[in-house]
């Protein structure tokens, strides 16, 4: 079954900007899928269209067979989103943030308590559970939005640049956690600027540029398609900055003093 | 509870939790303001005016103050809550949930409604104890107050959704709502005004709301009760439908 099936998706903003141009994408259930592209390529818009935060102007999105517009409740129930920008409610404590999120998804109280306890421990937030979210550090906020995204046990977890600006410890913790839940059956859609992260974690990767999917496949297949040695070089070729390749830097002649 | 009921209850709980966490500002301050009005207009001015249309002046004024407390709190709670959440981006958590537009709208509306209800109820209880405020027509009073509360909750939602900065909310409250309330006859009877002010007052929708509530409490009105109730019901329903349309379209909520 397809976890996400996007066909000819278009998004044109009222100011005329075409953020997505006939994007088609299929992600199989249980897959770990990476979406890479430069800033402004359309990654977040695609995610927002999938989660109901943006309204497509054309095409269709199906989440586990449910149309994201006509059957939005079923579609959204299956998705957990950790957005790029921490969008936390300042009035709530850490524990309330998790509890309320699960309530929005209809989870009964007893189950909410158990689940929030589990995630507070997983993300080392137990000591912070009664603190107001606005007093948290950047790293703690990032932990919280990841825990919140997983609170209602989504079948499709969307991580929009989850490791941007986080320390090595959290990054590795997150890698381990998402690999674990992926092995347990959760489908993951990851956007990241860290190519080694995508290379290591993702089964398949798509490159998006100027609102269009320009290439798709395993990291090896993408490297082969661009005629280069690895995913990073394939990405640099995509954005037209092949001269920045590490292979060029490593073989560059020494500059005399 | 069904999942839809859990969802609605949680959305509503979030709204109540927000204003209860800052209750000095959201409950304490409006209560103090209302009691200052009662003191100034009841005790100070009341000692000179004594009666209006055969009713103690302080009793004439308090129904309007209760209505004002409910309406302004319902309005400001909802407009601020929605705008704050849009600013923080926190509203995305609710918008990306399976909640329907009607559930979201109802939860936002009931938040302000509850805050207005709490302030109005406390004002009423204190007024009963201090000045013996009567309730002459409970069957008019209860639906009138509930409709007024729900109308201004809807208005708060509308302004909150439309607003792009806090200035927009402040403008609506200070330059539109407050003048309409003050000129709607909270502190005086329209019959005492010279022309054209008396006639102009009758174009102020809040004049009819104040008269409904005043009739419920002290049994005095300057307008038709049945017609006013009908108009208020129609206006509240119309506003709810406008808001529902905005939520369904995602107007200024979804990109």
- Which of A81, A90, A103 lies nearest to residue B88, judging by beta carbons? A90
- For residue B91, tell me if it sits in a domain: yes
The answer to whether the beta carbons of residues A53 and A44 sit under 8 Å apart is: no
10-residue mean pLDDT series, chain B (255 residues): 95 95 92 86 74 87 92 95 94 96 96 95 89 94 96 96 93 91 87 87 93 96 94 96 96 93
φ, ψ dihedrals at B149, nearest 5°: -60, -45
- Cα separation, B162 vs B153, in Å, equals 14
User: How many residues make up chain B in this entry?
Assistant: 255
Query: Which fold does the domain A2-78+155-251 belong to in CATH?
Result: Rossmann fold (3.40.50)
A43 lies within 8 A of chain B by CB: no
Q: Are B9 and A72 an interchain contact pair (Cβ–Cβ within 8 Å)?
A: no
Q: Are A106 and B4 an interchain contact pair (Cβ–Cβ within 8 Å)?
A: yes
- Cα separation, A205 vs A6, in Å, equals 15
Q: Is the pLDDT of residue A32 over 60?
A: yes
The pLDDT assigned to B244 comes to: 97
Q: Is the pLDDT of residue A253 over 70?
A: no
Q: In A, residues 57-76, which contact B (CB 8 Å cutoff)?
A: 72-74, 76
pLDDT in tens, B230-247: 999 999 999 999 999 999
- Strands (E) located in A107-161: 156-160
Q: Are A103 and B98 an interchain contact pair (Cβ–Cβ within 8 Å)?
A: no
B154 to chain A nearest CA, in Å? 22
- In chain A, the N- to C-terminal Cα span, in Å, equals 61
For chain B, how many structural domains are there in total?
1
pLDDT in tens, A148-206: 999 999 999 999 998 887 888 888 888 898 999 999 999 999 998 888 889 999 999 99
- For residue B235, tell me if it sits in a domain: yes
Q: What average pLDDT does the segment A62-69 reach?
A: 96
Q: What average pLDDT does the segment A101-116 reach?
A: 97
pLDDT in tens, A48-65: 999 999 999 999 999 999
User: CATH 3.40.50.300 spans which residues of chain A?
Assistant: 2-78+155-251
- Cα separation, A63 vs A65, in Å, equals 5
Domain of B64, in residue numbers = 3-249
- For residue B255, tell me if it sits in a domain: no
- For residue B254, tell me if it sits in a domain: no
Query: ipTM of this model?
Result: 0.89
- Which of A53, A101, A106 lies nearest to residue B255, judging by beta carbons? A53
User: How many residues make up chain A in this entry?
Assistant: 257
- Cα separation, B28 vs B34, in Å, equals 10
Instruction: Quote the pTM value.
Output: 0.90
């Amino acid at each position: 079954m397809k976890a996400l099936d996007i066909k000819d998706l278009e998004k044109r903003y009222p100011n005329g900007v075409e953020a997505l141009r006939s994007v088609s994408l299929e992600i199989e259930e249980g897959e770990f899928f990476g979406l890479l592209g430069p800033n402004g390529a359309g990654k977040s818009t695609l995610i927002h269209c999938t989660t109901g935060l943006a309204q497509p102007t054309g095409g269709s999105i199906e989440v586990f067979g449910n149309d994201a517009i006509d059957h939005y409740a079923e579609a959204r129930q299956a998705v957990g989103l950790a957005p790029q920008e921490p969008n936390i409610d300042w009035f709530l404590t850490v524990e309330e943030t998790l509890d309320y999120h699960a309530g929005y998804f209809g989870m009964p109280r007893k189950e909410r308590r158990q689940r929030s306890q589990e995630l507070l421990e997983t993300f080392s937030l137990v000591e912070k559970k009664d603190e107001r979210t606005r007093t948290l550090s950047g790293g703690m906020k990032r932990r919280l939005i990841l825990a919140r995204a997983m609170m209602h046990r989504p079948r499709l977890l969307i991580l929009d640049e989850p490791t941007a600006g986080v320390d090595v410890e959290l990054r590795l913790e997150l890698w381990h956690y998402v690999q674990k839940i992926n092995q347990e059956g959760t489908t993951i859609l990851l956007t990241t600027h860290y190519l080694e992260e995508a290379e290591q974690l993702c089964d398949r990767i798509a490159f998006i540029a100027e609102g269009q999917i320009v290439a798709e496949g395993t990291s090896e297949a993408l490297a082969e398609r661009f005629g280069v040695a690895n995913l990073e070089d394939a990405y640099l070729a995509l954005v037209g900055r092949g001269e920045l390749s590490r292979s060029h830097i490593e073989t560059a002649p020494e500059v005399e003093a | 509870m069904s999942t839809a009921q859990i969802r609605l209850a949680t959305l509503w709980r979030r709204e109540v939790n927000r204003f209860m966490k800052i209750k000095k500002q959201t409950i304490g301050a409006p209560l103090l303001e209302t009691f200052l009005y009662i003191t100034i207009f009841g005790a100070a001015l009341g000692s000179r005016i004594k009666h209006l249309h055969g009713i103690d002046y302080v009793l004439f004024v308090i129904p309007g103050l209760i209505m004002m407390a409910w309406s302004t709190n319902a309005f400001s709670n909802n407009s601020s809550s929605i705008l704050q959440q849009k600013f923080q981006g926190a509203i995305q958590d609710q918008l990306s949930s399976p909640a329907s537009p009607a559930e979201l709208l109802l939860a936002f509306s009931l938040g302000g409604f509850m805050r207005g209800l709490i302030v109005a109820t406390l004002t009423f209880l204190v007024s009963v104890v201090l000045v013996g405020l009567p309730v002459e027509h409970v069957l008019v009073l209860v639906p009138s107050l509930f409709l007024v509360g729900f109308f201004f909750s809807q208005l708060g939602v509308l302004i909150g959704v439309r607003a792009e900065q806090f200035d927009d909310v402040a403008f609506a409250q200070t330059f539109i709502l407050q003048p309409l309330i003050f000129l709607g006859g909270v502190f005086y009877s329209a019959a005492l005004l010279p022309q054209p002010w008396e006639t102009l007052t009758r174009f102020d929708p809040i004049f009819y709301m104040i008269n409904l509530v005043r009739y419920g409490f002290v049994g005095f009105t300057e307008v038709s009760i049945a017609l006013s109730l009908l108009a208020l019901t129609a206006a509240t329903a119309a506003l709810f439908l406008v808001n529902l349309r905005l939520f369904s379209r995602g107007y200024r909520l979804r990109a």
